Amino acid sequence: MLGFVGDVGDLAKLVMAVDGRRVIPDAEAGLGHELADCLWSVLVLAGRYGVDLASEFARMTDGIEQHLQSGEGTAAVQAGAGTN
C-alpha cells in the first residue's frame, strides 16, 4: 500500500511538471510509466480485496453519466471529482 501512495505522489509531481507548474526534466517520458505503476497497484489491491473492477468501473461511469444528464455537478465531474 505504501508503494501505491508513493507512486501516486510521483504521478502528481509529473502531472504538475507536464502542466508547467513544476520543473522535472523529461516529465512527459516518465508519465506513462507512473500511470502504469499506479494502475498495477490498483489491480493488485482489487485482487487482494476481491473487488470486481470491471463492475465497479461500469457502476461509477453510469453514475457520472446520470449526473451529467441531470445537469447537476457538471463542473465537478469535468474537474475530475466524479461521484461517489
Delimit the domains of the chain by residue range.
Answer: 1-51, 52-84
What predicted TM-score, i.e. pTM, was given to this entire model? Answer: 0.72
Confidence of residue 71 (pLDDT cuts 50, 70, 90): confident
CB 30 within 8 A of CB 18: no
Q: Residue 78: is its pLDDT beyond 70? A: no
2, burial (CB in 10 Å: exposed 0-12, middle 13-18, buried 19+): exposed
pLDDT tens-digit profile of 37-56?
999 999 999 999 999 999 99
> Is residue 35 scored above 80 in pLDDT?
yes
Measured CA to CA, the distance from residue 50 to residue 48 in angstroms comes to 6
